[in-house]
Structure 1
Amino acid sequence: MLLFLVKYPPIVSTMVCDAGGLSAPSSAPPWAGPVLAAEILYKHDLEVEAVIPALIASIIGYSVFGAWSGWNPIFVTHGSLAFTSPPQLLYYVVLGLLCGLIGLLYARGFYGITHRFHRLRLPKWVKPGIGGLLVGLIGLVLPQALGMGYGWVQVSMGPGLLSLPLWVILALPFAKILTTGLSIGSGASGGIFGPGMVIGAMVGASVWRLCYHVLPGVPDTPGPFVIVGMMALFGGIAHAPLAVMLMVAEMTGNLSMLAPAMIAVGISSIVVGDATIYTSQVPSRADSPAHRLQLSFPLLSTLAVRQAMTPSPLQLSPQHTVGGACVLDARGNLLGVLTLADSGRVPLGERGSRRVEGAMNRDVLAIQPDDTLDVALEQLTSHRIGWMPVVEVETATGGRHLIGRISTQEIVRAYREALAKGSRRMRGLVESTVMLEAEIEPGMRLAGRPLREAQLPTESLVVSIRRQNELLFPRGSTVIEPDDLVTFLVSPSGEERLRAYLAERVERTEPILLH
């Protein structure tokens, strides 16, 4: 597990813990937690990197909880709930529409009450007291609105629903929205997932109670409507339809209602639109702080640090800004960095005698030449530094041999140069290789020559040629024509030689061969 926490960013580690905890109470294999970890962060996207570590955490949490508390599901369903009547889908369409509308009311009502409490100019310890008093008054009229509410969900799944007054069933979803907003919005502790499940369940129970013995084809038991109501309401307003469908199926130990649930959850999601119960939920990975840099500049993920770095030893020009210098041992290995801030912390009277090793910073952030520029830029911006050393790590000794430095200015320069070029770098299909895509222009050494006469640099291979709408597989006799899009496979060490080869222009004395 520690390997995943090291490999993935902290935000994924947090989701891993949540996935394990959420999956623990279910009795079926805990698939919902990993899916929730991937879905819940975004309105219209998935955090794919979270699935594998979340799956491991989910299994562990499920096993520990089951060993301690047993393996029974939270809710027990009555009888067979298999979906066998396609005309019933019309009822689930109506249920999905109602769940979407009440889901919107849940989100707006909850945050509306929360904002009103925030505007009250009262001590913070007074506000939960006011919220608790109002919740208690509601409980005197409607006791079913108090507490978690899972017990009433269980009652509503079976014949016990008929024993409840109709006004209680109809009022309970709205009362639950009110009590949740008053308790949590006033500053008390609690969550919005459990109440969301109860609200959705009671919406489904209300639809069944109003339709039973009135409309044809209504199921004999309210269980299907209650289960689908839970899925549709919270799955829509939380923008986690897949996870909530799986989670409710696990909580009830019943997978047979997934087919009508897809209809209801889909309609609920359409009704909800971009509204969400989670205010921190962003539209997509491109809007997330964890991915914004990479997805805003996708070209940076195809460029290597060695393409932008300043080689070592440094040669300063009048345009350079001096932010610090690297400190090396006799073998050229990085020991630390001495910046102007480090020098400024040395008292004036000691600057003539203080050695560099006593003033330098030994905790140095460094990067390797084959790392991509999006990683480098993220490191620089997250640590709020302007530059960092580029090192090659020696496997035998573990030493970090300095080969250059990289700064934000150099990254921007490399990005602009790459945009202006006709070549595009991609990760290779084989480990330790790079794929380079280039459009052939007149005057290039390749243009108009058979591949056998092209004199490509060593460790370079042409793997495909796209000519208009035709894909060609290269042979020695294949002639490269201007406007061809050629894909090369090259080793990282030979990439610069290939780029230099493609940048060369020659004057032709013989005619260009065209086929």
Structure 2
Amino acid sequence: MLAKVSRLALSTLQSRFRFMTRTAELESGYEGTPYLLKWLGISTIIGIVAGLGAVLFSNAIHFATHLFLGRGVGYIPPLPLGEGSPIETVMERPWLLPIITALGGLLSGIIVFRWAPEAEGHGTDAAIESIHFRNATVNPKVPPVKLLASAITIGSGGSGGREGPAAQISSGFASVLATMFKLSPDDRRIAVSAGMGAGIGAIFRAPMGGALMASEILYMHDMEVAVLIPALISSIVGYSVFGMIEGWTPIFGAQPGIGFTDPVALLWYLGLGLLAGIGGILYCRIFYGTQRIFHRWHIPLYLKPAIGGFAVGLIGIAMHGTISTGYGWVQMAMGPEVLTIPLWTIILLPLAKMITTSLSIGSGGSGGIFGPGMVIGGMLGATVWRLGHNMLPHMPSSPAPFVIIGMMALFGSIAHAPFAMMLMVAEMTGNLSLLAPAMICVAVATAVVGDNTIYASQLPDRSHAPAHRLRMSFPLLHALTAEDAIQAGSISVSTRHLISIDASTPLDTALTMLTDADNSAATITRNGNPIGELTHKSAMIAYQRHMAAGTRRVQAMPSNSVLVEAMVDQKATVAGKKLREIKLPPGAIVVAILRDQQPITPTADALIQVGDVVTAVAPIGRLDEVRRRLST
């Protein structure tokens, strides 16, 4: 069993990092501006605003908490070490809690549905939807509305996280910045993704995890490699700004003295992975099931969060850990304080937290589901440790390893961001020594979860993304330029001043720009001078012409042979193999490899990677077989 899990972890690592090791397309968003200089400037601005936004949002939550829960209920939830003290105060007026949580839901609902309905629900999914389906365009009203509404929801006791609002606030600003700088559609998506990562990295004081999250979280089985460098810059800058003001201590403080020293304990981490996967699926189904129920109710939208809030307050009277962020309870679960918490509370808290988060955010309230997911996973790990520490051999003496790895496994699996979550939680706890058992646990949880996801706007991979559909479906389009598809004849006066595209622009990008501008034609320029016109018809004619040339006969070849091109798909059996290991039909030979528009010499040791365009000489009768072997 362990061998299978290890192979699964290794396979997951290889498939994820295959994309990371490929060179991202380094395209200039401004004419004549070098790639690194461009993103150093843009990402730095995004990071500064993300850090300041995270500071403002964090303090808004603290103010709202003292206003609603402190003065109203006479209760302050425990805080993690990096933000205060994990000491719970007595709830002086518990009977007021449902009224306060309902009031918070009502105020949040009025603010959201009055000024920016897009700020409803959890912000990270809204940011993902914007990147995939709204050309990375965010209503400028969303950031301030999201900040205020989420602070009220969480501060009044609603169960929600801070990362979703932080991501939507910073990605919203990045969208505004992209409009100001007139970025291309591809650069605009990169900027908004980098903003999302910067917001998450700053609010959690986890810059590396935030940057990797921006790349991983857009897809279930893929990564957006082009986002990595801009996101690294913006996330580190955002973290630096936040740390200068709020301090540098990891959220859950440093966790010294824990590590992985007993391989036999991997059995218990494997079991935790199974439970985390099952718990993740349950979290997804409860959340979206609750959301569907509230959507069916034909009542004013702003009343729904109030009803959800009232229900949360009722549950919170019995279980205080189900309200607000819950991070302080995770902190208590990492230390000996976990033994002072009633066993029934620890066992029921993961399920109760799923329900209260679904009621708070699924009803239309504003907040995140990332943070509650970590709380659920951490308390699930605490449950396993609490039940087994006196009965199971080789169980760690401290609950911290199970709590930390539980956080990684549950949310990392349902967010389909396993590496980002492992790195992020390690940064949040100041401990990297648990990565070995974490890989086992997260791999098992990810296998159990399958295609279930907590983010409805996530896509399976880049081939399903509107931004990449042309490129992935018709790889030749990216190899051609706008100049290759110039329409014969003079430039139309009616289209001369509408949209211009540089002659060196890849044809798939040019077609996307043409479609986004809702124009029938575009002027093609070289060095600012018009040289021709591009239309959808001329692009298709160019594509057909070059496709026909791709299988043309060559005089120097035998009369019964042709050239055939094939793009290596993500699931292709040849991906990751050396050329010498690929068995082609008799008479077929690879003569060229194109990777990111750069030719690769087809030596015997050349490694075939996903996305490569492979050209081979093959007998006419073996044409389909060669194409099938190379691409599937």
TM over 0.5: yes
Which of these residues, 356, 365, 368, is aligned with residue 502 of structure 2? Answer: 368
Which of these residues, 516, 535, 542, is aligned with residue 414 of structure 1? Answer: 542
Query: How far is 1:79 from its partner?
Result: 4.5
| CA pair 115-281 structure 1, distance change in 2 beyond 3 A | same
Aligned-partner residue type, residue 512 of structure 2: E
Which of these residues, 48, 51, 68, is aligned with residue 228 of structure 2? Answer: 51
Q: Render the CA deviation track for 1:4-27: whole Å, top value 9, x for unaligned.
A: 664752222112112112222455
Aligned-partner residue type, residue 370 of structure 1: S
Is 1:83 paired with 2:260? Answer: yes
C-alpha distance in structure 1 between counterparts of 2:592 and 2:233, whole Å? 39
Query: How far is 1:2 from its partner?
Result: 4.1
Asked if the contact 1:440/1:484 (under 8 Å) is kept, the reply is: no
Q: Render the CA deviation track for 1:145-171: whole Å, top value 9, x for unaligned.
A: 111100000000000000011100000
| CA pair 149-483 structure 1, distance change in 2 beyond 3 A | closer
Is 1:282 paired with 2:459? Answer: yes
C-alpha distance in structure 1 between counterparts of 2:592 and 2:393, whole Å? 64
Asked if the contact 1:203/1:226 (under 8 Å) is kept, the reply is: yes
Which of these residues, 303, 307, 332, is aligned with residue 484 of structure 2? Answer: 307
Q: Render the CA deviation track for 1:321-351: whole Å, top value 9, x for unaligned.
A: xxxx23xxxxxxxxxxx26xxxxxxxxxxxx
* 2:290 matched residue in structure 1: 113
C-alpha distance in structure 2 between counterparts of 1:306 and 1:217, whole Å? 67
Query: How far is 1:440 from its partner?
Result: 4.2
Asked if the contact 1:169/1:202 (under 8 Å) is kept, the reply is: yes
Asked if the contact 1:304/1:370 (under 8 Å) is kept, the reply is: yes
Is 1:392 paired with 2:526? Answer: yes
Report SS of the residue matched to 2:309: helix
Percent identical residues: 49
| CA RMSD in angstroms, aligned pairs only | 2.7
Q: Render the CA deviation track for 1:387-429: whole Å, top value 9, x for unaligned.
A: 1122222xxxxxx3322211111111111222222369xxxxx
Asked if the contact 2:255/2:430 (under 8 Å) is kept, the reply is: no
* 1:379 matched residue in structure 2: 513
Asked if the contact 1:438/1:486 (under 8 Å) is kept, the reply is: no
Asked if the contact 2:255/2:429 (under 8 Å) is kept, the reply is: no
Matches within 5 A, 1:345-364: 362=497, 364=498
* 2:85 matched residue in structure 1: none
C-alpha distance in structure 2 between counterparts of 1:184 and 1:93, whole Å? 31
| CA pair 374-438 structure 1, distance change in 2 beyond 3 A | farther
Q: Counting helix residues as a fraction of each chain, which structure ranks higher?
A: 2
Which of these residues, 191, 200, 208, is aligned with residue 22 of structure 1? Answer: 200
Is 1:128 paired with 2:256? Answer: no
* 1:228 matched residue in structure 2: 405
Aligned-partner residue type, residue 291 of structure 1: H
Which of these residues, 312, 326, 338, is aligned with residue 161 of structure 1? Answer: 338
C-alpha distance in structure 1 between counterparts of 2:187 and 2:301, whole Å? 35
| CA pair 483-131 structure 1, distance change in 2 beyond 3 A | closer
Asked if the contact 2:255/2:431 (under 8 Å) is kept, the reply is: no
Gaps of 5+ in 2: 1-39, 44-177, 560-578, 581-586, 595-632
Which of these residues, 384, 393, 402, is aligned with residue 530 of structure 2? Answer: 402
C-alpha distance in structure 1 between counterparts of 2:549 and 2:455, whole Å? 43
Aligned-partner residue type, residue 59 of structure 1: I
Q: Render the CA deviation track for 1:298-342: whole Å, top value 9, x for unaligned.
A: 11111122322124436xxxxxxxxxx23xxxxxxxxxxx26xxx
| CA pair 401-208 structure 1, distance change in 2 beyond 3 A | same
* 2:366 matched residue in structure 1: 189
Report SS of the residue matched to 1:385: coil
| CA pair 241-208 structure 1, distance change in 2 beyond 3 A | same
Which of these residues, 254, 264, 279, is aligned with residue 431 of structure 2? Answer: 254
Report SS of the residue matched to 1:31: helix
Asked if the contact 1:16/1:37 (under 8 Å) is kept, the reply is: yes
| CA pair 417-141 structure 1, distance change in 2 beyond 3 A | same
Report SS of the residue matched to 2:502: coil
C-alpha distance in structure 2 between counterparts of 1:373 and 1:208, whole Å? 56
Report SS of the residue matched to 1:406: strand
Asked if the contact 1:156/1:205 (under 8 Å) is kept, the reply is: yes
| CA pair 172-17 structure 1, distance change in 2 beyond 3 A | same
Query: How far is 1:277 from its partner?
Result: 0.1
| CA pair 166-407 structure 1, distance change in 2 beyond 3 A | same
Query: How far is 1:104 from its partner?
Result: 0.3
Report SS of the residue matched to 1:313: coil
C-alpha distance in structure 2 between counterparts of 1:78 and 1:372, whole Å? 50
C-alpha distance in structure 2 between counterparts of 1:31 and 1:114, whole Å? 32
C-alpha distance in structure 1 between counterparts of 2:403 and 2:440, whole Å? 15
C-alpha distance in structure 2 between counterparts of 1:78 and 1:387, whole Å? 60
Asked if the contact 1:96/1:264 (under 8 Å) is kept, the reply is: yes
* 1:473 matched residue in structure 2: none
Q: Render the CA deviation track for 1:115-169: whole Å, top value 9, x for unaligned.
A: 1001011111221121111111111221221111000000000000000111000
Asked if the contact 1:440/1:483 (under 8 Å) is kept, the reply is: no
C-alpha distance in structure 2 between counterparts of 1:233 and 1:119, whole Å? 29
Q: Render the CA deviation track for 1:264-309: whole Å, top value 9, x for unaligned.
A: 0000000000010000000011111221122121111111223221
| CA pair 94-77 structure 1, distance change in 2 beyond 3 A | farther
Query: How far is 1:231 from its partner?
Result: 0.1
Asked if the contact 1:392/1:401 (under 8 Å) is kept, the reply is: yes
| CA pair 311-249 structure 1, distance change in 2 beyond 3 A | same
Structure whose alpha-carbon radius of gyration is higher: 1
| CA pair 78-16 structure 1, distance change in 2 beyond 3 A | closer
Asked if the contact 2:408/2:438 (under 8 Å) is kept, the reply is: yes
* 1:427 matched residue in structure 2: none
Report SS of the residue matched to 1:125: helix
Asked if the contact 1:441/1:483 (under 8 Å) is kept, the reply is: no
C-alpha distance in structure 2 between counterparts of 1:66 and 1:3, whole Å? 21
Aligned-partner residue type, residue 387 of structure 2: L
| CA pair 440-265 structure 1, distance change in 2 beyond 3 A | farther
Query: How far is 1:438 from its partner?
Result: 6.8
* 2:321 matched residue in structure 1: 144
Asked if the contact 2:193/2:231 (under 8 Å) is kept, the reply is: yes
Which of these residues, 173, 183, 188, is aligned with residue 10 of structure 1? Answer: 188
Asked if the contact 1:73/1:251 (under 8 Å) is kept, the reply is: yes
Q: Render the CA deviation track for 1:89-137: whole Å, top value 9, x for unaligned.
A: 0000000000000000001100100110010111112211211111111
Asked if the contact 2:256/2:431 (under 8 Å) is kept, the reply is: no
C-alpha distance in structure 2 between counterparts of 1:91 and 1:254, whole Å? 20
